[in-house]
Amino acid sequence: MTEITSRTVFITGCSSGIGRAAALRFARLGHCVVATARKLEDLADLKYEMGVGARFATVQCDVASEESRAAAIAKARETFGPIHILVNNAGFGLFGPVEYLELDDARRQLEVNVLGPMRLVQLVVPDMREAGWGRIINVSSVAGRMVLPFGGWYSGSKFALEALSDALRLELMPFGIETISILPGPVKTKFVDNVEVPIRGREDAPEAYRRMGDAMRREREREAGRRFEISAEDVAGVIAEAARRTKPHPRYVVSGPAWISVVLRKILPDRVWDRLMVSHYGFDTIRD
């Protein structure tokens, strides 16, 4: 078996945030790193951050495109050989009332957050099985364990990713391949900039929906910059630890607020959780 620092890491969504931090972390640990993004120009300055002597490649990969996925994996193998660690990090958030979100938008949410990552798993598992060792790390979300208003499709994609991670963990265990799910809480990244809220500007939306949306945006603005927000580097550290441990945990919940949210959702009855949500966001005061 190859030494751990000789193993190749393929990471999606490296243009910023967790993906970029993970690429830098693995490179500094001596791994061969394939950093990918939907737009290759977003990775132009990454090689300078990785430092002299780092073994890395920047590759274009749109996780929603089969042609792009296959080409990126082929380029990675051509550059460094078999892939041993896959970090499925690319994703975006689609938020809004289920009633108003277009199904085409929902399909894209599932393609990027679920189907694309699982197709990459299918493409790299043969390398891992041949090596008798592998790590599949799916960057999920605390939203994969709890649902907020307007977050139905986003949470749906993360719940699906959690379920598939559990299935993969069992199916691939006989081959020495570990599947790990990472659930960050509030993270200081550009993720919010990539959140799509199609209901914005819709004059036909009920007043209650628009006021709910305003309440949730105000809450997010209040949360921004609070001490409990962790950095992308913190999450990258957890990803690297999980990839390198002999027996990694199946699931890492990153940050105190994430733990609290997951535990509360698990122990509270549905109706109690509902009352907690409407009270927290002020929905109980909204009337048409």
8 Å CB contact between 151 and 101 = no
Which residues 6+ apart lie within 8 Å of 220 measured at CB? Answer: 192
Alpha helices (runs of H) in the chain, residue ranges in sequence order:
17-28, 46-50, 66-80, 103-110, 116-131, 152-172, 207-223, 232-244, 256-267, 270-281
8 Å CB contact between 98 and 75 = no
Q: What token pair was written down for 101?
A: 């979100």
> Torsion angle, CA of 178/191/42/60, rounded to 10 degrees?
40
- Quick check: is 281 catalytic? no
3-state DSSP assignment of residue 61: coil
How far is it between the farthest Cα atoms of the chain?
A: 65
How far apart CA 151 and CA 165 sit, in angstroms, is 21
8 Å CB contact between 92 and 194 = yes
How far apart CA 188 and CA 192 sit, in angstroms, is 9
How far apart CA 38 and CA 65 sit, in angstroms, is 10
How far apart CA 43 and CA 20 sit, in angstroms, is 9
Q: Which of these is catalytic: 48, 154, 209, 281?
A: 154
Instruction: Catalogue the active-site residues.
Output: 154
